[in-house]
Structures are given as C-alpha cells and as structure tokens.
Amino acid sequence: MTRFTFDRRRFLGLALATGAALAAPPRRSAPGGVALDEATLDQMAEGMRTGRWTSEGLARHYLARIRTLDRASLHAVLEVNPEALDIARALDRERREKGPRGPLHGIPVLLKDNIDTGDRMQTTAGSLALEGAKAPVDAPIVARLRAAGALILGKTNLSEWANLRSSHSISGWSGRGGLTRNPYALDRNCSGSSSGSGAAVAACLCAAAVGTETDGSIVSPATSCGIVGLKPTVGLLSRAGIIPLSHTQDTAGPMTRKVRDAAILLGAMAGPDPRDPATAGCKAYPDYTVFLDAGGLKGARLGVARNFFSGNRGVLELMETTLKTLTAAGAVLVDPVDVPTADYEKPELEAMLYEFKAGLRAYLQGRGVTGPVVDMASLIAFNERMKAKEMPLFGQELLYEAQAKGPLTDSAYLKALETCRTLSRAGIDGPMDTHRLDAIIAPTGTPAWVTDLVNGDNYGTSCATPAAVAGYPHLTVPAGFVMGLPVGLSFFGRAWSEPVLLKLGYAFEQATKARRAPKYLPTLDLSSS
C-alpha cells in the first residue's frame, strides 16, 4: 500500500502540474452500451447475469482507475484489498455454479477506513497510531455485505479520527492517507469525514461505497462530490466494529451515484445485531427498492427549512428552481418551516467529547489493540511523538478536551445529552406534526470550498445537524450545480422513515437527473461566471 505523505509545494502545484493532462482510463462499455463508469448496480448485475461482464472484470476496471486516476490526483483510496481478484473469481465461479446471491453479488464496494474488516487490510481511522493493528473480525455490516455477495475492494481515506481532532482541521486529511481532493476541482475540498468514500464514488473508483456519519460526515461529502448519501436512523445499522465518536449519533450509511443503488446497499446492511443494543428495536426491510416510485412526489407534503438556505446567490437560485420542480411533480410545499439548531450546538460537542473518550477506549479494548494507543491519553501522547507526520497542519486540541472529560455518569454529560435529544427531536417532530409533513427539505450545504492549508475548513451553511443529533434519517440527492460545483437537496424526517425519504429522493432524481460526472479540473474557471 502506498502512503501519500504531505508536501505543501506538491499540493499547491499538483493541480497545475497534472490536472490539465489528467487522463482517466478509457471508458469501457457494459452491456447495452452503458459506460461502465456510470453504470448502476442493476446494470452491472444484468451484465454479469448475461455473461457479458464478470466480477473480476469489474474489479480490474476499478483497480486500474485507482492505480491511475486516484493515485495521481485524488487520494481517495487508502489501500486495496490484496485478495480482491481471488474473491472476484470465486464469486464468478459461484454465480456460474449456483446463481447469484442477490443484486450485490460480485459488486465491488469500498469501505471507509474506520470500519473493521477481518482480512489483510487495516482499519486505522486514518491515523498512524493504528497502522499495522488489524481488526480480528468483520464489522457486522461488512459481514452482511459479504453474505450478500459484495466484493470488498478496499478502504477509503477520511478526515482523521472522523474529524474530531481539531477545530482547525482540514477535511479529508489523515496522517496515513494525506489529503483527498474533490474530483470536480482538485483544489476544492471534499468535506468530510467520509471524504474518500464521496470522492471515490464520484470518480467511479467503485460501484458504491460505505461511509459513516456523526454529524454531516455522509451527507456533506455527498453534496460536495455530487452523489447520493443516506445517513440512516441510528440503530438501523449495527455500529459494532466501527471506530466510534458518539454512540448516540454514529451510524454507517450508503454513498452511491443513484438513489436506487443506495436503497440496494441499505437493504443489505440493515438489521438487528446483538453487539449493538441500539438495533434491538430497528425497523429494517430486506429490500428498500420496493418503496421507490418515480411519481412519489405527488401529494407529498414537504416543509421548506429556509433557515438553512445560505446567502450564496447561486444556491438560492438553484433552490428556487428546485422548489418549482418539486411543485411541478405534485409536491405540496409548506414554506417556510423553522428547524432551529443554535440551542443545542454547544451541548452536542460537549456530549460528543465525553462519548468519544469512553467509546474509543471500549473499542480498542474490544479489538484487543496492544500497541502504542489503548485510550485517549495514549493517543494524544502518540500524536505528540509523531508530531511531524501527524500534526503538520493542525493540532489536537479537541482530543485534549475529550481527555479532560469524566465518565458518562457525569451530570454535565447527562444534561448535555438530554438537551440535545429533546431539542433536536422537537425541532423535527414539531413542524412535521403541525403541518402533517412527509419530510423536511433544504439545500444540503454550500458548494465545496477551496482547501485552505492555513486556516482549515470553511463549511458554510449545512442542514446536517438536526437529523444527526436527533438520530433521524437524512438523504441527500444531487440537485444541480453552482459555478460548476455540485449541490444536493436534503430530505430528512422522523426515525425509521427511510422508505419515505428514498421514495421522495428517487422521484426527485428521476425528475431532475442532475448528476454529471466530474472533469477533474485543476481549478474552476470563473472568468465567464
């Protein structure tokens, strides 16, 4: 595996040096003349069914793109599965002899590098502190994917420790993987923390990917990279075997190019798990594609959360066009509805710091890690020793704050948690009850910002927090472009409402077909804007 070390001059010059000449591998055609790069999971499955494609062929195609396109410019993939081609051949043989297990049979999927795989790959959260310490078993969601026939192709880069290390962090950067770059403009940020998963899906380095979210870490890179991202209800997917930040907000979720692909991936991963008590009452369906309906917007009541409409002129213009599209498709807009967040933003961080300290220790002990890092204190010490490699751009002040927290029985933690749960859920349930809404909508965020190695991230406006803190589902779907950069439309609502959100998002996708493949520009040409 190649480590992408950080070099300031290399970063600043890379786009100009390689961007204009960047050449992706030639687009090969799948059955029916569909370009494989943009093929859906259904199209790939049909190609393998007819024998005109194989899982090995798909894997080789994506591995070639990773070797060329990704290694040259994006740095979305940390490592590839050294057994990928052997597994693909075995899946092809099984298909010939027994038939497919389902729609994911032989489909190459990438995983964020905080999700355990009990194989030859590592699980490090992007940190050098866990390099070489392999997980003993698959996370339950990975076991489910393998059981469904999915081919685990590799691990994606991320914001190190899922972006809870510094308030001046740079999304998509990790000590192990360097900086992930946005496929639409290489000097722009992918957002995070599922940066590599977002960039990899956008750049067609895989058929689909899995990210994780605590607050925005799926939906924010999805909107920045022009793809579909679904943050499920907390407890719909097992969190066991995933490096934790917050046991009250963490969840994995699908990141794909199409809504139907997200529904297929969700169905394979969802379900109860005895290792995760939050899943005990989960309302999972084995097949979420049955809820998809191209006419699903007709009669749907959607609350327009204008407090998340940014001051960006392009976003405002795009959203006004989007609202007209929704109305034309039969949706009933309740405009506006207010979904406040200010009263629980500070308690959210307070609770998260407590939970990160406790969760990290429990995870490392459960995994049997015996290396230099076994808890928050030893992680801080490791980073100080490895300062040149781990902290060349930003520090670890949030880790120090987490280490200073007490146990989860502290009154300060319990008060913060209660504030978060009560206010966030009331902020969604209240307007949904009052206006009889099916979902609340808003722009997912502002367009991708230019990566700033000095000052850190500049997220702009985002609507991720309400559903994240409440533990409710949140779907983002490409809505269009602002000056060449993608922007998504968010649908969020009550717990376990994934079927409704997928129906609405699918209908919106069919009405707009807004996704466009990236061009890997070195920077945006704004001279004509």
- As annotated, the active-site residues are 112, 193, 217
> What SS3 class is residue 69?
helix
Torsion of Cα atoms, 343 then 348 then 354 then 357, to 10°: -160
DSSP 182-247: -TTBTTB---SSSHHHHHHHHTTSSSEEEEEESSSTTHHHHHHTTSEEEEPPTTSS--TTB--S-T
Cis check: omega of the bond before 29, within 30 degrees of 0: no
Distance CA 146, CA 161 (A): 25
What is the 3-state composition of the chain as percent helix, strand, coil, each rounded to the nearest 5?
Answer: 40, 15, 45
Phi, psi of 478 (to 5 degrees): -50, 130
- Please say whether the beta carbons of 158 and 193 come within 8 A: yes
Residue 415 is encoded by which pair of tokens?
Answer: 């008060």
Residue 237 amino acid letter: L
Q: Are strands 474-482 and 77-80 parallel, antiparallel or unpaired?
A: unpaired
Nearest to 252 by CA among 273, 260, 459, 407: 273
Distance CA 258, CA 249 (A): 25
Q: Which residue has the tokens 């890379």?
A: 14
Distance CA 302, CA 444 (A): 15
List of residues 6+ apart from 401 with CB closer than 8 A: 353
- Please say whether the beta carbons of 227 and 257 come within 8 A: yes
Distance CA 134, CA 136 (A): 6
List of residues 6+ apart from 277 with CB closer than 8 A: none
Nearest to 150 by CA among 67, 233, 209, 195: 209
Nearest to 473 by CA among 225, 218, 292, 265: 218
Residue 212 β-bridge partners: 252
- Looking from the CA of 333 toward its CB, the CA atoms found within 13 Å total 17
Nearest to 444 by CA among 490, 483, 485: 490
